[in-house]
Amino acid sequence: MTQVEAAAYTGDEMMAVAAARRLRNGMVCFVGIGLPSQAANLARATHAPNCVLVYESGTIGAKPTHLPLSIGDGELAETADAVVSVPEIFGYWLQGGWIDIGFLSAAQIDRHGNLNSTVIGSYESPRVRLPGAGGAPEIAAGCRETFVMLRHESRAFVEKLDFLTTPGKGVTCVVTDLGVLEPADRGELMLTELHPGVTADEARGATGWDLRVSDDPRQGKPPNRDELAALRALKPPNGDTVAR
């Protein structure tokens, strides 16, 4: 397949493509809004048509043609194999151990993949009050693997979290706009893959701890034409309602 030039895609698109490539056909994915939803739907539109998308609104096997803004948009319910209640989705399906991959994001991550989505600053008088835990702690605990998608910058990749919302022990990869990190010895994240045109030093500079880099990090491939076309076709027709 033809590869496109570096300038022809965005960092977010590279993240969605890199995460989508890691999904195999038939995998059951617990998907949140934004980049995870893009990645899982891209996989379904390209190499993994039988990837099963489960949204926390209780829609199992949703097959949206465009990216939803919320986890409960009507199209998810209309295209799902089943629609169940919230206690059921978290109780039977997530905690019951039926999900392969859970996707998460956060405001902060540390070297062990622990995540903060609760506050920046102190809990009692936060500088920034973030949305909070949502489904994250149980997604990380209940899925076989957790993929984290997060833009790589030092204010997000921190030495010490302001608040630990979600333990990182199930994290098997962190996809950023610079590359991919995977847990190595004692669970510490190590940079194992670089996106096209990115150097290990750039990744180190965007990380708030002394980032370990594997001996010979893999060089990721840029999005190909088919991937980009499929990804862009998922965006809603009016252009501006893609989840951020």
Partner 1 sequence: MAEIVSVAEAVEELVRDGDAVALEGFTHLIPYAAGHELIRQGRRDLTLVRMTPDIVYDQLIGMGCARKLVFSWGGNPGVGSLHRLRDAVEHGWPEPLKLEEHSHAGMAAAYAAGAAKLPFGVVRGYEGNDLAARTRVARIRCPFTGEQLAAVPAIRPEVGLVHAQQADREGNVLLWGIPGVQKEVVLASRRSIVTVEEVVSRLEPRPNAVFLPSWTVTAVAVAPRGAHPSYAHGYYGRDNGFYERWDEISRDRERFRNWMARHVLEREPLPV
Residues assigned a catalytic role: 56
Q: In degrees, to the nearest 5, what angle opens at C-alpha 89 toward C-alphas 183 and 59?
A: 100
Does position 165 bind partner 1 by CB under 8 A? yes
Show the site string, 1-40: x = touches partner 1 by CB under 8 A, - = not: --------------------------------xx------
Q: What's the CA gap between 195 and 115, in Å, rounded?
A: 23
Show the site string, 68-97: x = touches partner 1 by CB under 8 A, - = not: xxxxxxx-xx-----xxxxx--xx--xx--
Residue 191 contacts residue 150 (beta carbons within 8 Å): no
- 211 contact partners, CB below 8 Å, separation of at least 6: 111, 157, 189, 190, 191, 203, 204
Q: What's the CA gap between 2 and 228, in Å, rounded?
A: 11
Binding partner 1 by CB under 8 A: which of 43, 99, 136, 149?
136
Q: In the complex with partner 1, which residue's Cβ is closer, 73 or 193? A: 73
Does position 158 bind partner 1 by CB under 8 A? no
Does position 229 bind partner 1 by CB under 8 A? no
Q: In the complex with partner 1, which residue's Cβ is closer, 27 or 139? A: 139
Residue 152 contacts residue 206 (beta carbons within 8 Å): yes
Q: What's the CA gap between 40 and 149, in Å, rounded?
A: 12
Q: In degrees, to the nearest 5, what angle opens at C-alpha 186 toward C-alphas 181 and 190?
A: 20
- CB of residue 118 to partner 1, shortest distance in Å: 7
Number of residues this chain uses to bind partner 1 (CB under 8 A): 52
Q: In the complex with partner 1, which residue's Cβ is closer, 66 or 212? A: 66
Q: In the complex with partner 1, which residue's Cβ is closer, 119 or 198? A: 119
- CB of residue 159 to partner 1, shortest distance in Å: 16
Binding partner 1 by CB under 8 A: which of 38, 46, 108, 118?
118
- 111 contact partners, CB below 8 Å, separation of at least 6: 159, 188, 189, 209, 211
146 φ, ψ (degrees, to nearest 5): -120, 130
- CB of residue 164 to partner 1, shortest distance in Å: 5
Binding partner 1 by CB under 8 A: which of 24, 129, 225, 232?
129
CA 129 from chain centre, in angstroms, equals: 22
Binding region for partner 1 (CB under 8 A): 33-34, 56-59, 68-74, 76-77, 83-87, 90-91, 94-95, 118, 123, 125-138, 141-142, 163-167, 169, 240-241, 243-244
